[in-house]
Structures are given as structure tokens and as C-alpha cells.
Chains A and B, each alone.
Chain A
Amino acid sequence: MHSTLVRAQTAFGFFTTVAFCVAALIALSGFVSPQTPSADIKLRNVQVVRGRPNYYSTKKEEYAHIKFDLDTDLSTLFTWNTKQVFLYITATYPSLKPSEPPSSAIIWDAILASPSAPWHQNQYEAPGTPDTRKSDPEAQKAIAAPGILHLQNQRPKYQITDYTGKVANRSDVVLELGWNVQPWVGALTWRGWSDWGVWKGLKGGRTERFGFPGVKERVKVQKEDLGTAKGGEGNRGKPA
């Protein structure tokens, strides 16, 4: 501590130690905050159509188009250390061969931002929320209770298929809600079905088993029934 340089180095070195310890405390503080997530997810409509993976492809594949209702209360996932929650719905169905693991594909997802996160265009805005792009304090307050969603007859963001290219007439499909909590400091955590400490497992969040129907003939399908989520929501999460 005899000269300016040595004092600067010593003080800054101890600052990094303090910063690390505070960060560790913040990361651990999430594990003592109770979580009681609940969700209700219902199948609304499912159709299977033939299509191409991209505009130039000559390959035809079958795509399942699943509409759903979703009601969630995930407000307990948002603690002071939560930056955002990546919410997604997977459709899971067993493979044709018993030796192979089941297929699982995401049909819809959303980035639920915590109130402490700055606005970003990829964040999800539930229908009816005011425009938070303008840094209007009133509008910011309106999203002070994140994680509560009520979606009716929601279009999927993604039509799904698998490597076989055939998904028609598959049975035992289940829609499941999943999420990934992304904190400001600390480890990522995922949706759990069973209790873990003061964190309760997800209540509900799973549909009854259902089957994919046969392929719909092109002429009979109404085009507007097969659209994925459009506009801002459809583009969210995709790089510009």
C-alpha cells in the first residue's frame, strides 16, 4: 500500500472478490424463493397437411398444425434475479419403433421479459398489453405482473414434422408446457414436474393424449386455418 499503483491494484483486487461473493449470494437467493407455477393447456384443433420444407424444395413432407388454448400463472418465476423466461410448448409423440426415443418438437414459444429487463423486440407481448416501446412509465407498470397468460385458439409459431416426413395418423401425442428461467446472475433452470425444495413442480401444463388426423386434401383446407402466428409475434425470436 506504499504507492498509488499498489493501492489501486489492491483495492480493485478486493473489489472483484466482493463482487463475486455478492453475485454468488444473488444466485443462491433464488433457491429460497418459493415457486408455485400452474398452467392449463388445451388442444383446440390439429390438422395435417402436405407441404415443402422450403420454397425451392421438391420434397413433400407432412406437417402437423396444432392450435391450442393456454392459461398460465408463472408469476412466481419472476424474482428480483429473473431476467427473462423462455416459454415453449412441445408436442411429444412416441416413435414407430419401440427402441427409439419419442419425438419432441416445439410448436410455439415466447420470451417473457421481467419488468427489470429493458425492452427488446423479441420479447413477447400478450394480446392486449399496451405498447411498451415508448418508454412510457404507465405502460411499463402495466407489465409489472409478468407470467400470466390467457391465450385463446392460439396459432402455432411452427408447423412440425420429423425426419421421416410422415406425421399423419400418429397417436399418443401430448402437448407440454416447458420453460427456461434465465437469471441476471446464476444458473439457468428448467421446468420441473416434481417438487424441489420450496419450488413446487408445474401443476397442469399437459394435455390429454390425442392423435394426429390423416392428411387433409389440399382443396378442402382453408388457407387461413393453417397460418402460423403472424405479425410481430410470428417474427419474434427470429433474427431480422
Chain B
Amino acid sequence: MIEAVGLTKRYGAKTAVYNLSFQVRPGTVTGFLGPNGSGKSTTMRMILGLDSPTSGHATIAGRPYRQLPNAPRQVGALLDAKAVHGGRSARQHLLSLAQLSGIPARRVDEVLGVVGLQDVAGRRSNGFSLGMGQRLGIAAALLGDPQVLLFDEPVNGLDPEGILWVRNLMKQLASEGRTVFVSSHLMSEMALTAEHLIVIGRGQLLANMSVKEFISANSADFARVRTPDTEPEQREKLTAALGEAGGQITPEPDGALRVTGLPLPRISDLAHAAEVRLWELSPHQASLEEAYMRMTQGAVDYRSTADARAGLQEAPAGYAPQGPVPQGYAGGPGHPAGQPGVPGQVPAGVPGQGQPNPYAQQAPGAVPGPGHPPPAPAQGHPYGAPESYGAPHPYGHQPAAPMPPATPVAPPAAPADQPTPHHEDAR
């Protein structure tokens, strides 16, 4: 069991990790997700007692790492696969680590076998590929047969077979009752490996929930409905009917409608009742990767209003740059093909109806930053395109700006005082 309580790390003016609290339980693989530079590695180093937190603390089995009796036999970690002296052989590297913890030398050959490096054990490690380096790092983490394991980006540089191997290894370790904490910036990988997710962005906790919850909360189902191209009035009729029935309708550039909030049979019934013919009625799912990207970009949004505007410019750029557009109208020609794939405009409510988006990414168990307003949950995603429909786009006149990650981090205290303008704008 790993526990972090109010973990904060500042490097001068830069805050790498802010007020992070979570628990990592034994018996499951816990994924630690966040974009590059979001503070994952810093957090792991603090858990391992390598960096001392500015405030807060991290414990393993109830004790700070440095006070654990015989820590390396209880906790194994892969922090950096390249942290090996290139002139030293894999076996000597592991042997020196084993001796450091009083682990018998024969264990070295065991773990070399486990990671499949037995044939190159005597070779100098500077000839190793990144994948071999990862395997060596994993071997080092396994040396002490520890109950708690931390892996920082273990699948980096691995081939598909290696990724599958790591995935199964993590699951196996967890099924043996161990605590397995794996960081990654790949949502897709974590969805397959982990059972529980801790998502951070810019050093703050964004979500702490099971993968199942995350999926149901984030990968909103939607239906794509297409009416005959030749009869646009049928489409408007259907839009009105579906809207009355409580569905949210987002037009797609190719003329189809993206409908959320209504099951497929109901859509069919409504269309039938309105005497509208359908050319297409198909179920779809927004990908987890999209949901994750929206969530982590939201973290940036949450930090600074300037960022939010920059972010808003991005998604709706092709939609409604010039003020009001009639609701239900796709926004005219000129939409780039493939627009629906842009993250951020996926399942979003029609704000004109004044009701919260049932698919808003904030899910049960999601943790708002303590003391701060949550990052605009339940009000429709801040990047959701719908503001541009039925209401003048508040930022429509502004020039396009680069995406949020380019902007500096605001101090973490700042957002508490700043309004989140999207709430008001969306209504």
C-alpha cells in the first residue's frame, strides 16, 4: 500500500507536484497517468525517498520509505531504464544492486531469466537497446521479490511482444497480492493493464477511479444518425424531435447528426413518429484516449484563463468562427473532413437547453483539486464545441492561438481566485 498525503514539490518558482493525495492498494495494477512533465516521476521519486517533498508526505506500508526496515526487500522500482553504467555488464549491474540489499547472487540469474536477458547477461550494457534496458530495469525492480513495485514508463521502447510481456507481468505481480504502481502517458496502454487509474495533470490530481468507472464516465456512447441528403428539412424535423425527447444533437460536417442521451431504438421510434427516413443509425464510442486528452488539457485550462482561450480557439476554429449560427446547422461548407475526430468536440451537450452534459467527463470518484473549484465539470466540457451553436461564440473574434502546453504554469494557488468563464459563457 502506497499512500500520498498532500504531496507537494516546488523547484524554486515552479511547482512540479501540488497537493497530491492518493492511495495505491495491493492486489491491483494502479496506473499513474499524466502527460509528459506532469509530475509522475517526481512523485515516484518522492515515494522512494529520493526527493524530499516541499510539504506533505508519502508512505509505504505506513512508513516513510527511508524509515522502512530493509527497504529494497520491500519495494522495487524501475525509475530510468538507462540508469546503468554502460561499461558494466547486465549481470554485474544487478549483482551490485543485489549485494547492496543483501540479496543472494543466485537471485540475479533468476531475474535475468524472468526478463529474458540471460543470453546477454555478460555483455556490456551500452550495447543494449532501449527495450533491453527496460528489461534490465525491470529485473532490478524484481530483485528483492518486493511486495510493492513502482515502474516509471516501463513500456517505453519495447516492441509489441515486449509490451504484452510487461502487461502480463504487471497483472501477474498484482494477482500475487502485490502493490503495483505503473506510470505511463499512454491511456490506451493503461486501459489494458491497470484496474485503477490515478490521473494527474500539471502536478495535480485529476481523477482517481477504477478503469471501469473511467471508461463509463468518459467514453460516452453516441449514435450517428443520417437522414437523406436530398431532404434537409427532414433533418431539421428530426433534430427538433430528438431535442424535445431530451437528446443532445451535434451536427457533423458531412451532414450526419451525432446524438447522445438517447438509446438507438428510441431514436428510431422518434424518427418513425416524425416520419423521417433514416439512411444511417449506428452506435459509436468516443475513445478513451480522447477522453484522457480532454481531461489532461482541462488541467491546463484550470490553471489559467489565458490558456483556456488558447484552447478554445483550437477546437471550434473550423466550426463557427463568425458569431451565431442557427442551431442544428452544421456551420456551412468549408469544414475540413475528419473534424469529428478532433478531441474536445466529441460528446457535448447543446447548451441552449441549459442542461448539464450527462457525459461531462467528471465522474463519480473524480477528485476536484482540494480547495479549488473542480476543473469545470458537469457544465459541458470547456473545449466542447457547442458554445458556438445558438449563441455567439465568445471568443470568435480572437485570433487562433497555440495549444495550452506551450504556456507557462501558473502558480497553483492562482486558479482558486480565477473565475472559470466557460460556465457563464455556455449558458
Partners in one complex: no
